Structure 1
Amino acid sequence: MTELAVFDMAGTTIDDRDEVYRVLREATEREGARYSDEVFQQWMGTEKHWAIENLLRLGGVEVTEEVHERAWQWFRTELARTYTENPPTPLPGIEDALTTLRERGIRVGLTTGFSREIAELIYSTMGWKQGETFDASSTGDEVPSGRPAPDMINTVMDTLGVTDRSAVVSVGDTSADVQSALRAEVTAVGVLTGHLTRADFEAEGAHLVLDSVADLPAVLAERTPAAVSE
């Protein structure tokens, strides 16, 4: 039986109009970085401070501490501004799905490549509260390594005292989400609310691909953990 469902935020549970990716790309390009859409997509869902460093380097910029810090601070300021002026909203059916899972005794965790300050801004603007909407959260700046490392999933599990990895599903819309789940040895679920196709997720090794997080409660109700992970 599933004990814990862990969810990514942007593109998985919330609609931020892709602002995080606009701001991430602009933060590096304004420093002179140039790279393809395919290269950029590989860094979607990862911890943003790390992503900026790597995108700068891949974009041909000599990454000094000054350059990296300047790009990072611009990213933080611009993202906070755009999220304050035009806050993200829950994707359709997400809040009902999270409520249904918690009512069934399945705890809900949120993970994100955002920093804690941005995550808390999003929670407050949407009225999401720990203990009511979700049970625990972990952000990319609070763990040794962000996605695709499994650290955030492990942190949520530790926080909630969940030890049975076969009883955990982790849901996301990016390659990094799937790889993080696989490294955590939990069931990896891809959702088609981001930029990847079903074929993309299958190539990444996702155990299950859904149209939306809104479909998850029904799927978990119909399947045993063993069936989900086949």
Structure 2
Amino acid sequence: MIELAIFDMAGTTIDDRDEVYRVLREATERHGARYSDEVFQQWMGTEKRWAIENLLRIGGVDADEAFIDQAFAWFLDELRRTYTQNPPAPLDGIEPALRELRGRGIKIGLTTGFSREIAELILGSLGWAEGGTIDRLVAGDEVPAGRPEPFLIQKTMADLGVQATAAVISAGDTASDIESARRAGVTSIGVLTGHLTRAEFEDLGAELIIDSVAVLPSHAVLTGDRAGGNR
């Protein structure tokens, strides 16, 4: 049986109108970085300072630590501004799904590449709180490295006292979400509310692919059936 369901934020449980990706790209391109859409997609879902550092360098910018700090500070300021003026909203059906999961005794974790400050800004605007809508939030600046490393998942499990990886599912809308779940040894779920297609998730090896987190409460995977499949 599943004891813990872990979800990404933007694109998986929350509609931020893709503002995080607009701001992330602008934070690098305003300094002269140039790269393809395909390259940019590889950094979706990762910890944002690390993404900025790599996108600057991939994009041809010789960036030292001070330069990266400056670009990241702009990213945080702009994201804080846009989220304050036009707050993100839950994706359709997400709040009832989370309530149903918690009602069944399944713990809910949110993991994100956002910093704790930005993540809490979003949760505050939604009226979500730890111990209320969710059980635990783990942000990208609270672990040694973000996705695709497994640390966000592992910290969520440790904080909530869940030891068995077979009792954990982790859902997200990016390639890094699937790879992080694979490295953590938990069931990986690709969610089609982001930018990846079903075929792309299949190529990534996602163990389950669903249209939305909203349909998760009705899926057999909650009984621990890892072979429930993505078909």
Bin for the TM-score computed over the shorter chain:
over 0.9
Q: Which is further off, 90-99 or 62-71? A: 62-71
Identical positions, percent: 65
Q: CA deviation at 1:220?
A: 3.8
Give, in angstroms, the shift of residue 224 of structure 1: 3.6
Note the residue ranges of structure 1 that are not aligned, 5 or more in a row. none
Residue of structure 2 in register with 1:32 after alignment: 32
Q: Which residue of 1 aligns with 2:111?
A: 111
Q: Give the 5 Å matches for 1:168-179.
A: 168-179=168-179
Give matches, 1:62-211, under 5 Å.
Answer: 62-211=62-211
Whether the 8 Å contact between 1:48 and 1:113 is mirrored in structure 2 is: yes
CA distance in 2, matches of 1:95, 1:156: 20
Q: What's the C-alpha RMSD, in Å, of the aligned pairs?
A: 1.2
Instruction: For residue 221 of structure 1, report the CA deviation from its aligned partner.
Output: 6.9
How far apart, CA to CA, are the structure 2 residues paired with 1:60 and 1:163? 43
Structure 2 residue 18 is matched with structure 1 residue 18 = yes
TM-score for both structures, normalised by structure 1: 0.97
How many residues end up aligned between the 2 structures?
Answer: 230
What letter matches 1:93 in structure 2?
G
Q: Give distance in 2, aligned partners of 1:226 and 1:15.
A: 28
Amino acid at match of 1:196: L
Deviations 1:6-64 (A, max 9, x none): 00000000000000000000000011100000000000000000000000000000011
Secondary structure in structure 2 of the residue aligned to 1:108: strand
Distance of 2:165 and 2:108 partners within structure 1 = 15
In structure 1, distance between residues paired with 2:140 and 2:156: 12
